Amino acid sequence: MTDGIFADLSIVIITLNEERNLPSLLATAPRLAELIVLDSGSTDKTTSIAKEFGARIEFRAFDNYASQKNYAMSLSTRRWTLLLDADEAPDSDLWQSISQVVNEPVTQNVAFELNRRLVFLGRKMRFGRTRDKVVRLFKSHSAAYQNEIHEKLMIAPDVTVKCLDGVLWHQSYHDLEDYFSKFNRYTSMMAATRWRDAKVTPSILIIAARLPVDFLIRYVVKLGFLDGWHGFLWASLSSFYSFVKYAKLKEISDKVST
């Protein structure tokens, strides 16, 4: 496989203080692909690392994930756009699949989803709701995100979605300090978004039930126990995430009503 077949590809990444993750992603990126990094004010070496790999660097103040990604995608100048997070990296099989797409003429309206798997505290996870499929490769300027957090990519109804071979590894959490840093930020954003969207706070009974139910689904039903200690820890922390999100929503509701 040669880099030249990626000349029709724009790789788009949004960043904020990603010096820890960005090198492993950019090191795998094909040389002739267009690299676009949209930064929102990094104070570490993120932008200098991006420059070393020849990326085009733009700046936009962060407001929400959907708007940030939509602006980043608007910067693409090639025929195909591959949208990646800085903590994600395609394996060699996935790059091969992507090369086949961008190197062939495509007449139909089509987008491609990628098989994403979680790397949790250094372990490649197999179970416990640690796999999903995400649409990330599409004709440039043909898709847009909605929702401010846990954003959803919207594509036209006539677009056929196909799945590519290979794995998109998601190195989301390097250690527990990293996990809880994101944990607090994301649960607060989720609670604020749900309140702004007039979501009703669940009853105390439902909030209390979410934690053990979520844990049992991830650890037992979805076989998280087969991932050993990491499977137990992932199931525990993920179920606690849901609990805290609703606890923060109730906190907002109580403050407003007093």
Cα–Cα distance for residue pair 32/201, rounded to 1 Å: 50
Domain locations along the chain: 3-172, 175-257
Contacts of 180 (CB under 8 A, 6+ apart): none
pLDDT of residue 1: 46
Cα–Cα distance for residue pair 38/54, rounded to 1 Å: 14
Average pLDDT, the chain: 91
* Tokens of residue 130, six digits: 């640690």
Mean pLDDT confidence for 225-234: 97
End-to-end CA distance of the chain: 64
What architecture is domain 3-172?
Alpha-Beta Complex (3.90)
pLDDT of residue 190: 84
Cα–Cα distance for residue pair 246/204, rounded to 1 Å: 10
User: How do residues 161-205 score in pLDDT, each as one tens digit?
Assistant: 999 999 999 998 889 998 998 899 889 988 888 887 776 677 888
Mean pLDDT confidence for 221-238: 97
Residues of 197-231 as b/e, b for ≥16 C-beta within 10 angstroms?
eeeebeeeeebeebbeebbebbbeebebeebeebb
Its pTM stands at 0.89
Phi, psi dihedral angles at 222 (to 5 degrees)? -95, 15
- 4 pLDDT band, cuts 50/70/90, is low
User: How do residues 18-55 score in pLDDT, each as one tens digit?
Assistant: 999 999 999 999 989 999 999 999 999 999 999 999 99
Strands (E), 19-100: 34-39, 56-59, 80-85, 88-90
- 68 pLDDT band, cuts 50/70/90, is very high
pLDDT of residue 149: 66
Mean pLDDT confidence for 63-90: 95
Mean pLDDT confidence for 201-220: 88
pLDDT at 70 over 60: yes
User: How do residues 104-152 score in pLDDT, each as one tens digit?
Assistant: 877 678 999 999 999 999 999 999 999 999 999 999 999 999 876 677 8
pLDDT of residue 197: 76
* Tokens of residue 254, six digits: 């109580």
pLDDT of residue 3: 56
Contacts of 2 (CB under 8 A, 6+ apart): none
